[in-house]
Amino acid sequence: MFPAIDKAGQLAALDDNYRAVDEALEIGAACLVLVVGGMPKGSKDIDGARQQVHDGIASLLQYSRKVGMPLAIEPLHPMYAADRACVNTMAYANDLCDVLGDDGFGIALDVYHVWWDPDLRNQIRRAGKQRLLAFHICDWLVPTTDLLLDRGMMGDGVIDIAGLRTAVEAEGYSGFHEVEIFSAANWWKRSPDEVLLTCKQRHLECC
């Protein structure tokens, strides 16, 4: 997360991001996924927050490119624009890539955040193989009872996951399908073995 209410806060956030790059290097991660942050407490200036995100990533790229750790910006669902990430569409993530350069910089596509977007297929094509650095899967439940912790197991919701997989792989994406299910009232309460088995089954059936 990058935005902060003052310069000291911005520098502290940037320092935290430098450390995240170092940690990603240490564990041999393929990329560092950026959840960029929302508006600082008390602010109503989302354009300003987006400018801070741009400036923060521009600074971080100077370091991450030198040490060879790709950064992947993750557009988060618009319901997180205020407090988690003010980059909320693939289009805006692609715009940032255009401006900041594709070298060591791309996008993490999580179907949960972007499935609703009528412009999604165009933006996946625009991103292409070079920018598509990660692919996260889960499902959107109807009803969804919590903004953060009520994601669904693949197949239990309304997302055409197989269609989106086909779209990213048509661009040449060949990385993992990473399952990410925040589910306080359901999957987090089950045994890890059951969850993993279900993930594997559903991945074969629904993705």
Token pair 């715009």: residue: 95
| Phi–psi pair at 167, nearest 5 degrees | -65, -45
β-pairing, 132-137 with 32-34? unpaired
CB of 140 to its own copies, least distance (A): 6
CB of 29 to its own copies, least distance (A): 28
Closer residue to its own copies in complex, CB, 7/44 = 44
Select from 131, 170, 169, 136 the least CA-distant residue to 154. Answer: 136
Among 5, 147, 170, 185, binds its own copies (CB under 8 A): 147
Beta bridge partners of 137: 179
Site string for its own copies, 55-94 (x = CB under 8 A): ----------------------xxx-xxx--x-xx-xx--
Cβ–Cβ < 8 Å for 146, 158 = no
Cβ–Cβ < 8 Å for 135, 178 = yes
CA quadruple 145, 87, 113, 195: dihedral sign: negative
Closer residue to its own copies in complex, CB, 38/70 = 38
* Residue 115 lies near its own copies (rule: CB under 8 A): yes
Closer residue to its own copies in complex, CB, 144/166 = 144
- CA 79-81-83 angle, to 5 degrees, is 100
Closer residue to its own copies in complex, CB, 166/174 = 166
Closer residue to its own copies in complex, CB, 26/47 = 47
| Phi–psi pair at 170, nearest 5 degrees | -65, -25
* Half-sphere CA count of 70, side-chain side, radius 13 A: 20
* Residue 140 lies near its own copies (rule: CB under 8 A): yes
Cβ–Cβ < 8 Å for 132, 106 = yes
CB of 23 to its own copies, least distance (A): 28
Closer residue to its own copies in complex, CB, 144/174 = 144
* Residue 159 lies near its own copies (rule: CB under 8 A): yes
CB of 39 to its own copies, least distance (A): 6
Residues that bind its own copies (CB under 8 A): 38-39, 43-47, 50, 77-79, 81-83, 86, 88-89, 91-92, 115-119, 140, 142-145, 147, 157-160
